[in-house]
Structure 1
Amino acid sequence: MARKHREKVPEWYKPPQEVICPICGRDIPEDQRDEHHLVPKSRGGRVTQTLHRICHRQIHALFSEVELETTYASAEALLSHPEMAKFAAWVARKPPGFFDGTRRSNRRKEKGQNRW
């Protein structure tokens, strides 16, 4: 009888698909995946996109729900903002499992949106 490690992998087996973050372009490990509502749920949004947890938190640290609904409802629109583009360029150089704490942007604090 053949040993298990020498047996062929069943033909029906397919390895898990890679999920690429549209913000930083890195592969997202399973434990770092977050679903981001392109238009916030509180504003009637239903469509989600899988992002790195760190990218998702940065989005919510920079933008209010109104801004996300009206101006930044896609990955391309988010990357058009200079602060988000700078963050994406920085985090793209990190390994896929990298995570760091996220601080609220001074830009949001100045607007008087101190909800959190």
Structure 2
Amino acid sequence: MARKHSKHDSFEDLHDEEEAAPPPVPCWLCGRPTGTTIVWHHPVPKSRGGRDVVPMHSICQQTLIANFTNSELQRHGTNVEGLLDNPAVRKFVDWVANKDPDFTAPITKKKR
């Protein structure tokens, strides 16, 4: 197996490559850049035949799970605007808009 770098190369080249990090991916629900933890969420639940995944903050995913059933998520599909029409989700997105990308907080349980 070939080495990526020769053992005679300087370490300065290695340091330059590590600094070029890709830009953060935006959250599917709130649009804020994701932090160190990215949750890959199925907009249509796997139990309902969903295969696509989207990047989200864990707090945003918890909010969706607390406010929608799997059937409701299946009906909305990948339509974010339909989810944001829910007053509780809209209130959450407006509240979290100015928070740090790695912000997390406990979410209330499902109301059933």
Normalised-by-shorter TM-score class: 0.7 to 0.9
TM-score, structure 1 normalization: 0.75
State the number of aligned residues: 103
Amino acid at match of 2:104: F
Shift of 1:92: 0.8
* Percent sequence identity over aligned pairs: 34
Equivalent positions of 1:1-116 (< 5 A) are 9-10=16-17, 14-31=20-37, 33-71=38-76, 73-106=78-111, 109=112
Gaps of 5+ in 1: 110-116
CA distance in 2, matches of 1:8, 1:73: 39
Instruction: State the TM-score, normalized to the length of structure 2.
Output: 0.77
Q: 1:100 to 1:8 in 2, by over 3 A?
A: closer
Q: Any runs of at least 4 consecutive aligned residues in structure 1 with deviations exceeding 4 A, and if so which?
A: 3-8
Render the CA deviation track for 1:33-69: whole Å, top value 9, x for unaligned: 1111111000000011101110001000000000100
Q: CA distance change for structure 1 residues 44 and 8 in 2, over 3 Å: closer, same or farther? A: closer
- Unmatched segments (≥5 aa) in structure 2: 1-9
